[in-house]
Amino acid sequence: MKQSISVFGLGYVGCVSAACLAKAGHDVIGVDINPEKVRLISDEGRSPIIEPGLEPLIHEMTRSGALRATTSCREAIAQSDLAFVCVGTPGDINGQLNLDALQRVCREIGEALRERERPFTVVVRSTMLPGTLDNTVRSALLEGAGEAFEPRLRLAINPEFIREGSALKDFDAPPFTLVGCEDVATADLLRLVYRSVDAPFVHTRISTAEMVKYACNAFHALKVCFANEIGDSCDALGADAQEVMNIFCMDDKLNVSPAYLRPGFAFGGSCLPKDVKALLYAAHHADVGVPVLDAILPSNRAQIQKGIDAILATGKRRIGMVGLAFKPNTDDLRESPLVTLVEALIGKGMDLRILDRNVSLASLTGANRQYIIEEIPHISSLMCERPEDLIEHAEVLVIGTDNQDAEKICAQARPDQVIVDLTRSARGKRSSARKAA
């Protein structure tokens, strides 16, 4: 279904979006305050930016009449039912975003909508932090259009995932098409707009969509620094950096996969802490700077401290905790962050009970039995056998492991009991009055 679309901001994202939307069969009008950009597109069919394949596409789309450009916001709004906002949101030296251009454009769009009777949809492609669409964008639009227009205003955030140098290819086949909006009708409209795009269509909450772009880019930056620090360590220790990372990337079960990328609690166990420490030791002794790797263990300790602080903040003394091993479905207590948390709470005078069916002194053998006897014998006396015993004892229920016992305990918890969910599982998110983490 053909849509009449205006694209505000003819910089990198705006030019690519306008040309590709026109190629997809829509009627597109680009808008920019720079008359030279408008002249290049409308009069000469040329691209204001350098991007492989973009200029021939703009030339083709302008010749066909599917794409044109203007400096007039009113003209563009009058000739469209859907506006994509692609203006820049630059950051200052401290990282704070400059939203002046975004506010100005939205205010102008609002002013052009003031006399409009039909609904209008504004979709923001600019990168912006959670809360910006609901606060800055909505308020600027209504400042221009008047509060009476609010029932006819539809808003969405649609982050772009295009890379310079491969933008046309990325537009046609991104990892996903992400849309954050409050209503299904707006999502369905954008589903039609992107019907030719080869990617899963993801409709989510506005704040989630705003944050995903930052999560992606932060991870991309982290990967570059990680690979470089591993490369530096390889060079110093006599390993082939390229071969190491090529083999590393062959693992799509753990390394290049969703594994370990679910927000939860701190890591532990017999491998990760030991191996990170060993790598840091070797790098430091080779005089290799590895600031990203250096930050891993302090970051992990900060998660444990956050859990301790959340429990202490309840002001209650009787604590019942689900889980003690470093992860579900194991009896391994070595480097368990839950053991560290328990010892800290004991030191603060808390009255604890712990439920972990995999950790029973009677059934433990080998290194795990030796560890609990020699290193944490005081904790064994705090173990209980049934969920009911934990519920009866506790004022605060701490979910340290996501399992069936945790599910049962959350379901049976009394209204007066506080739940601190360290695993951040969905079952821990009942009501704010019942959750303290």
| Catalytic annotation, residues | 271
- CA–CA gap between residue 30 and residue 383 (Å, rounded): 67
Are the CB atoms for 47 and 162 separated by under 8 Å? no
Helix segments in 364-435, DSSP class H: 366-374, 377-380, 387-393, 404-412
- CA–CA gap between residue 8 and residue 33 (Å, rounded): 9
CA angle 36, 102, 125 (to 5 degrees): 85
DSSP state of 328: T
Q: In sequence order, what are the beta bridge partners of 351? A: 318
Q: How many CB atoms lie within 10 A of CB 136?
A: 19
Q: Which residue has the tokens 């409308």?
A: 42
Taking CA atoms, 408 is separated from 155, 164, 398, 412, in Å, by 40, 50, 13, 6
Strand order in the sheet with 318-322: 351-355, 318-322, 396-399, 418-421
Give the pairing type, strands 27-31 and 4-8: parallel
Cα torsion 170, 172, 175, 180 to 10°: value is: 110
Residues 6+ away with beta carbon under 8 Å from 173: 197, 198, 199
Closest CA to 175 of 157, 160, 188, 186: 160
Closest CA to 102 of 146, 132, 71: 132
Are the CB atoms for 331 and 345 separated by under 8 Å? no
